[in-house]
Structure 1
Amino acid sequence: MKHAVASARMRQILGERNGAAAIEFAILAPIVFALVFSIFEAGWIMTQSIMLDRAVSRTSRALQINGAKLTYAQFKAAVCSEAIILSDCVKSIRVEFTPISSATDFPTNATPCVDRSLAIDPVTTYTAGQPSQIIFTRACYVVNPLIPGLGMGLSFPKDATGGIRLTSSFAFVNEPI
């Protein structure tokens, strides 16, 4: 008798459909939200990368055409003023200029980035070069992922502070005087 009552109660519980939608939502909502936030973060990182590329190329092009001799700080400030969406740009970007004399002079190592765990920013190679000389410009901007433990934030290599490195390169020839 007890067994029959327990079996009938079990069939009644298993046949119940109240709350089924809530369980489906609880299972699927995190997956959908993770996908949506990952897409948003991918777009934001891509936008910042494009703005960095644009800023480096426009500033380098202006330097090439105008023949102006900018200091490291002036060039960095000019790149940051072009890349208007890069937050805390001056502190998070490092720029490098390398004059090229032959095909073997192109830098082969990784683009140097700001180490945000240090209070100082060491000097990088910054030589404006001579007239008619090829100059290779590299910039690295360190940005925090929007959602570090999800989607795109998990897939990018990060530095010691959890920042993602966005890099840009541009080569140009100094105009002759």
Structure 2
Amino acid sequence: MPQPLGFFPNLLRRFRRDRRGVTAVEFALVAPVFFALLFAIIETAMVFFASQVLETITQDSARMILTGQAQNSSLSQAQFKDLVCGHKLSFVFDCRNGIYVDVRSYGQVGVVKVPNQISAGKTFINDMKYCPGQDSNIVVVRLFYEWPIYVTKLLGYDLSNLNGSKRLLSATAVFKNEPFPVGGMTCS
């Protein structure tokens, strides 16, 4: 049976006035962008938080070298790393396998050279040294951690600076050792 000519304009008018389901359609359009932005903000905040925790642990651990306690106790690189990991890092980092400790000492300020740990190919250069130095030496203590990046890379806001969607977090403490009596400390 044919429809009257006025049926189609009436149908369009009713469709335009009907507001049921508008909220669901609007949510379907906005939700992916909202959740993508929310997860990007959370991931960025986590990176900053982890970086700050690493910075705090570096400062606390460097104090053992600054005061000569590490040298007088003849701590090895592994023992110093255990000391670093003893700061309750397990809630943020995989400390035993993921933290890298680099300690270098210099006789004077003019010869201090801090190498870049990221190669041109975006890989981590693991040439860690442990030389806490003698009293009055300039010491550079650095901690590194390869933090995995999940969300932001997918959104085009890439936080990674290493291959494999990872960001190298680093924290540095530079200081002059206090005067202290020490035995023969060797560097490794």
Distance 2:79 2:118 in 1: 19
**Residue segments in structure 1 that go unaligned for 5+ positions in a row:** none
CA gap 1:67/1:173 in 2 versus in 1, 3 angstroms: farther
Question: 2:109, 2:138 within 8 Å by CA — same for their partners in 1?
Answer: no
Separation in 1, partners of 2:53, 2:163 = 24
What is the rounded CA distance, in whole Å, between the counterparts of 1:143 and 1:17 in structure 2?
47
Change (3 A) 1:81 1:150: farther
Bigger Rg, structure 1 or 2? 2
Equivalent position of 1:168 in the other structure: 171
- Match status 1:23 vs 2:21: no
Give the Å deviation of 1:3.
Answer: 5.8
Give the RMSD, CA atoms, in angstroms: 2.9
Equivalences for 1:120-131 in 2 at 5 Å? 122-131=126-135
Say whether 1:100 aligns with 2:106.
Answer: yes
User: Which of 11, 14, 29 is the aligned partner of 2:13?
Assistant: 11
Matched-pair contact (CA < 8 Å) for 1:56–1:168:
yes
Structure ranking higher in helix proportion? 1
Scaled by the length of structure 1, the TM-score of the pair is 0.79
**Regions of 4+ moved over 6 Å:** none
- Scaled by the length of structure 2, the TM-score of the pair is 0.75
Deviations for 1:25-78, whole angstroms, at most 9, x for unmatched residues? Answer: 112223332333333323322221111111111111022224323211112222
Distance 1:111 1:169 in 2: 13
Asked whether the 8 Å contact 2:58–2:171 carries over to 1, the reply is yes
| Deviation sequence 1:109-145 (CA, Å, 0-9, x none) | 42469xxx99xx9542221212210101112111113
Displacement of 1:15 in angstroms is 2.6
